[in-house]
């Protein structure tokens, strides 16, 4: 019986590990603290992406139909509120910006963001930190810079929400010591952090939409294995009870 209890405890431990979010390690980047199982957060993040990001960036590995299913949205809601390009419901998410225009304004096409979270070593923490680290820099062609990704060629797409941050540099150095909010935006700092957390959660979902289904199935698989282990132990005890 002790072995059966141990096996069940082990299976439940794996279950908890499989469904927990990844925490950030100690470092310069803040913890994003995203949870892709929070459907409301994903919906808010999708709204932000399609209002502020899809003008330049695509999600070519995500289809509107799949996104609707995973985020608990109807076809009508997606096509009315999130589809601004006239794409069909089964089409992938493609940017509004023609490639020629991107070459003209940015020198190259803005990257597809389908795998943005997965390509970064720090994952969601990098994206979250990046979205919170823009500051005005007149020396840059676009007028903005970023402490997480220095000399980024992208302006802050969420500046109206966040406001304008300015850099405070170390004395006698060009190194940025901290960022200060010099002009408030539409959101308070706490509200803006939540908004960027929602957007980061949506991008993490977009990097692997199957993760939601895998986690749902994984729970039942682990419960089945735990139950099967218990029954197998009882069967073993029955077979060997007369063996001395």
Q: What is the pLDDT of residues 172-227, one digit of tens each?
A: 888 888 999 999 999 999 999 999 999 999 999 999 888 766 666 677 778 888 88
Q: How confident is the model at residue 4 (pLDDT cuts 50, 70, 90)?
A: very low
Q: What is the pTM of this model?
A: 0.75
pLDDT higher than 60, residue 25: no
Q: Which of 37-41, 48-52, 206-210 has the lowest mean pLDDT?
A: 206-210
Q: How confident is the model at residue 235 (pLDDT cuts 50, 70, 90)?
A: confident
pLDDT at 159: 95
238, exposed or middle or buried, with CB in 10 Å at 0-12, 13-18, 19+?
Answer: exposed
Closest C-alpha to 158, from 122, 189, 191, 185:
185
53 is in an annotated binding site: yes
pLDDT higher than 60, residue 27: no
pLDDT higher than 90, residue 26: no
pLDDT at 13: 38
pLDDT at 80: 93
pLDDT at 89: 95
pLDDT higher than 90, residue 156: yes
Q: What is the pLDDT of residues 100-129, one digit of tens each?
A: 766 666 667 788 999 999 999 899 999 999
Close Cβ partners of 243 (under 8 Å, ≥ 6 residues apart) = none
As a whole number of angstroms, the distance between CA 133 and CA 179 comes to 8
Q: What is the pLDDT of residues 72-96, one digit of tens each?
A: 999 999 999 999 888 999 999 998 8
β-strands 176-184, 144-146: how paired? Answer: unpaired
| Mean pLDDT, rounded, of the chain | 83
């Amino acid at each position: 019986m002790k072995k059966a209890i141990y096996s069940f405890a082990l299976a439940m431990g794996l279950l908890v590990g499989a469904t927990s979010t990844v925490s950030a390690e100690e470092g310069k980047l803040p913890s994003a603290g995203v949870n892709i199982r929070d459907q409301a957060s994903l919906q808010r993040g999708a709204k932000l992406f399609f209002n502020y990001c899809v003008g330049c960036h695509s999600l070519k590995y995500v289809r509107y139909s799949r996104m609707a299913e995973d985020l608990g949205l109807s076809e009508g809601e997606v096509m009315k509120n999130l589809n601004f390009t006239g794409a069909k419901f089964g089409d992938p998410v493609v940017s509004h910006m023609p490639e020629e225009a991107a070459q003209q304004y940015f020198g190259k096409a803005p990257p597809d963001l389908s795998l943005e979270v997965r390509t970064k070593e720090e994952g969601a923490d990098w994206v979250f930190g990046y979205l919170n680290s823009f500051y005005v820099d007149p020396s840059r062609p676009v007028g903005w810079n970023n402490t997480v990704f220095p000399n980024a060629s992208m302006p802050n797409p969420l500046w109206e929400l966040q406001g304008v941050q300015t850099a405070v540099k170390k004395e006698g150095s060009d190194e940025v010591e901290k960022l200060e909010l010099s002009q408030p935006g539409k959101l308070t700092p706490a509200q803006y952090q939540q908004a960027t957390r929602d957007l980061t959660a949506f991008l993490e979902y977009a990097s692997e939409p199957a993760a939601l289904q895998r986690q749902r199935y994984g729970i039942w698989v682990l419960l089945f294995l735990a139950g099967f282990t218990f029954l197998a132990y009882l069967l073993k005890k029955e077979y060997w009870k007369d063996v001395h």
